[in-house]
Amino acid sequence: MNTKTLIILIILIGLGVGGFFIWKNISVPDEEKAKEEKTEEEIYIYKGIWMPGMLLIPDYLASNMQKLKDIGINAVFFAGLPALPESYFEKLPFPPETLEKIKEILPIEKELLIADIQTAHRNGLKVVLTVGIDPKPKMEEIDLEDWNSKIIEYARLAEEYDVELFAPMAEPGGLFEGTEKDIGEWGQEILLRVKEVYHGEVLWMGCGAGGEPRSEEFLKELSEGPPGKYVGYDYIGFGLNLVPEMTLEEFPQYIDNSIKYKLAQAERDNCKGVMVTEFSVFLPKQRSEEEVARAHEIVLEKAKGYDKIFGLFVANFLGGQIEGLPLVEEDIKTGEVIKRYFTEILD
């Protein structure tokens, strides 16, 4: 695999182009709205799908809506394009047709998101919204205040269109890594600004939890320790992804370690709980279809055993095609696993 191909692949993973590369609006009938309402005592579990690259495929959500409902999806997780100028995208190794599609979307991105939010709500699905970060620029390449301003713009949009859950940024660690800027300090500053304009629940969407073994004593001390960077957030989100260097046999312990660590942090910072904001298999073509489906099943098996996991978002596995790029086929076997858990086991 040459360097150019690898860079495109990494970018596409971030844009969420299918699992292989990786949701009330005012027109809803009153009876449907009533069905969706929940009392404070009711526990709502987001059984969702992470669809960050959806805007790049015309009518993608609407054309897949019945399929989503059939497999038990009750929430969709959208990501707006990162706060980057058109000139930045021009430097990336996209085919000309793909770059033209991005340029076409940038001026109407907000309108497209609003239409998709309304489509989701009209069909009884909840919506989670964030601002994307991929293709992960370096901090010195961006204006952080421009990025913050886009986050607040999207928080206002989330408030106006009754978005149920808002995350300021998708995996901000990728932007702050290797810089002198304090991600925890930024997280608190942006949270205060978000809460000025948005009154729903707020999610911190982090990346992987590391998954290394931690003793029960360590986890207890962590949960009882001084408040950390997630104070004020309703939920801590993190990914559970099977990476190429990990075997399927090692994956269950990695999941347990990650969940326990994040639950300890949630207890420490008085969060309501945690969410698995993305679970998938990186570079799935390196494994059999059965192994990929089994990896998704392992995440769901493990998560089922914990009380304070309030969201499970599978990375988009429905397939699709962005202009200029190859068609990505739907992962049928993974879809069967998701449907069984979301409609039967976790129902």
Helices 332-340, 289-303: crossing angle, 10 deg rounding: 20
DSSP code per residue over 190-218? HHHHHHHH--SEEEEEEEE-------HHH
What pLDDT shows up at residue 43? 54
Residue range 182-217, pLDDT digits in tens? 999 999 999 999 999 999 999 999 998 878 899 999
3 pLDDT higher than 50: no
* Cis peptide, bond prior to residue 135, ω within 30 of zero: yes
Region 25-33 average pLDDT: 40
- What pTM does this model have? 0.88
296 pLDDT higher than 90: yes
Mean pLDDT taken over the chain: 87
What pLDDT shows up at residue 143? 86
What pLDDT shows up at residue 134? 81
Q: Please choose, from the candidates 330, 306, 301, the residue with its C-alpha nearest in 3D space to the C-alpha of residue 316.
A: 330
Residue 57: CB atoms within 10 A of its CB come to 18
Residue range 8-26, pLDDT digits in tens? 444 444 444 433 333 333 3
Residue range 237-288, pLDDT digits in tens? 999 999 999 999 999 999 999 999 999 999 999 999 999 999 999 999 999 9
What pLDDT shows up at residue 208? 87
What pLDDT shows up at residue 4? 46
Helices 144-160, 183-197: crossing angle, 10 deg rounding: 40
What pLDDT shows up at residue 53? 82
What pLDDT shows up at residue 276? 98
User: Could you tell me the domains of the chain?
Assistant: 3-36+48-345 (3.20.20.80)
What pLDDT shows up at residue 64? 97
Q: Strands 309-315 and 46-51, how do they pair?
A: parallel
CB-based contact 130:172 (threshold 8 Å): no
Percent of the chain with pLDDT over 70: 88
Residue 74: CB atoms within 10 A of its CB come to 18
What pLDDT shows up at residue 17? 41
Measured in residues, the chain has a length of 347
Region 135-158 average pLDDT: 90
What pLDDT shows up at residue 284? 92
Rg (CA), the chain: 19
Q: How confident is residue 47, by pLDDT bands cut at 50, 70 and 90?
A: very high
